[in-house]
A and B are shown apart, each in its own frame.
Chain A
Amino acid sequence: MAVELAAMTLVQAAKSGDDLAFDVLLEPLLEPAYRLACAMLHDHHAAEDAVQEAALKAWRKLGQLRDGSEMRPWFLGIVANECRTTRRSRWSSVLKSLTPDRPVDEPADTVLSGIELRRALLAMDSKKRLTLVLHWYLDLPLAEVAAITGSSLHAAESRLQRGIHELRQRMEGNRG
């Protein structure tokens, strides 16, 4: 409770022009934002650009953050939007990066199943993919996933279930 109050105070301070308060709020969000962007784009260079651009947009649009709202879902929503824009303009690099660009010390089977999983994820519609990444990769609770994706709790849950189902079918198809 005290932590939430402190965060709200920081949000108010940041909204009234306190840059230090904004930096304090933003810093712990950069790591999840970067992981989100990597998971959505599968290209860490593009992910870095997306997070940087999202940080600038967040600073410019801070006045739009509603009083009483939390910074994390709002900022991750901006990152997700940025990824959508980036992905639209970077199809070739996204497709190329399905194969990781660094050496991986894992058995060939694991590497292949990783490639297949990433391919299945990229083939999903963007909201389903975002929901799956937020809940399964960033470990965010469904209520926060719903806030980030701008949908109801039930819609988020349903999207998650369909996403998992799609992944499972695709992976079983490949094994079987």
Chain B
Amino acid sequence: VDSDPKLRSEFRRALDVVSPPAPWLRTNVKDALRQERRTRSWRMWRRLPVIVLRLPRLSQKVAAVALIVVLAAATVEVFLVTHRQANQSVPAGPAPPQAMSSGTQGLRAGTYVFRPLFDASGKPFPNVLITVPAGWSSYEGFAVQSFTGTPRELAVSVWNVGDVYANGCHWLGPTIHPGATVDELAAVLAARPLRNATAPVAASFGGYQGKYLEWSVPTDIRFQQASAEHGFSDCDGGMFKSWSDAEGDRYQQGPGQVDQLWILDVEGHRLLIDATYMPGSTVQDRAELAQLVNSIAFKR
């Protein structure tokens, strides 16, 4: 990343010119904070007496008695509710879906909700629910994965695709904006070089219509591993990328990786579901992946 010390030093020099020293900044900030604190504390002191002093003396007594009565009633109610709940048996039922948090989180077997995605108008897509067996983990709220970092890696992720990299290996080159429809994105993906994509076919998924295709990463390409061990890579930056969305990129995990892609029209907006497996995965692994995909449901 930092392989251009000359450009970096030019960059620093160019910005130093527009960053002259400002020794007074510290004092200015301190003064502004002092002023803000003074205003805040004055406001707080002013608020309380105004409420109390506005009431006539008799009303103050009535208000105090009313407050005591309300507090006593609330205490009794809390006691009764707690007591009642302790003596009741809760009927068993399916556990509600849990939200995935950011970062990487180990998941217990159960149903989870992917982090909400928003369409171009800012409206959230319906919640996407997935049921996972034990041993899976969530990644940044938009993917679930298993056997992470191994030749058997499996993952399912949800995307609102923005731009597609024209060449996944030389992704520093041009990107393609695939329009807004399912067909446009399917056509752009299917035409990408190096991906050996299948022709998109009509598909329905979770009650929505769309297109399905599969593509892969060439088996003989060297990117991440070659870069780390030998200091070179066939691909830009030691990565092989597919597309970007508002928050990041779909980068691939290794040569031979296969992605099964469902591009869906969800209430007039496009959503992509990506189920992926590495070439080292077993038949059982892929069956488990298919089971996860089949469990996906949409819910408003």
B13-21, B87-95, B144-152, B187-195: which lies at the interface: B13-21
CA distance A137 to B12 in the complex (A): 6
Chain A residues within an 8 Å CB radius of B1: 142, 157, 160-161, 164
Partner of A168, one of B4, B12, B36, B37: B4
Partner of B11, one of A110, A160, A167: A167
Chain B contact residues: helix, strand, loop or mixed: helix
Minimal Cβ-Cβ distance residue in B for A158: B249
Q: Please report which residues of chain A, range 23-54, place their CB below 8 angstroms from some CB of chain B when the two chains form the complex.
A: 23, 26-27, 30, 34-35, 38-39, 42-44, 47-48, 51-52
Question: How many A residues have CB within 8 A of the partner chain?
Answer: 50
Asked if B176 CB lies within 8 Å of chain A CBs, one says no
Asked if A165 CB lies within 8 Å of chain B CBs, one says yes
Partner of B172, one of A23, A55, A60, A165: A165
B-to-A contact residues, CB < 8 Å: 1-2, 4, 7-8, 10-15, 17-20, 22, 25-26, 28-30, 32-33, 36-37, 140, 172, 236-237, 239, 241, 247-249, 251
Partner of A52, one of B32, B236, B249: B32
From known contacts A44-B22, A102-B20, infer whether A158 and B237 are also in contact, taking CB-CB under 8 Å: yes
Asked if B19 contacts A154 (CB within 8 A), the reply is no
From known contacts A44-B20, A160-B1, infer whether A137 and B237 are also in contact, taking CB-CB under 8 Å: no
Partner of A48, one of B4, B14, B28: B28
Asked if A3 CB lies within 8 Å of chain B CBs, one says no
Asked if A97 contacts B18 (CB within 8 A), the reply is yes
Asked if B25 contacts A19 (CB within 8 A), the reply is no
Minimal Cβ-Cβ distance residue in B for A58: B33
Q: Please report which residues of chain A, range 115-158, place their CB below 8 angstroms from some CB of chain B when the two chains form the complex.
A: 115, 117-118, 121, 132-133, 136-137, 142, 151-152, 154-155, 157-158
Chosen A-B contacts, 13 in total, with CB atoms closer than 8 Å, are: A38-B15, A38-B18, A44-B22, A52-B29, A56-B32, A115-B14, A117-B11, A117-B14, A121-B15, A155-B248, A158-B237, A158-B239, A161-B237
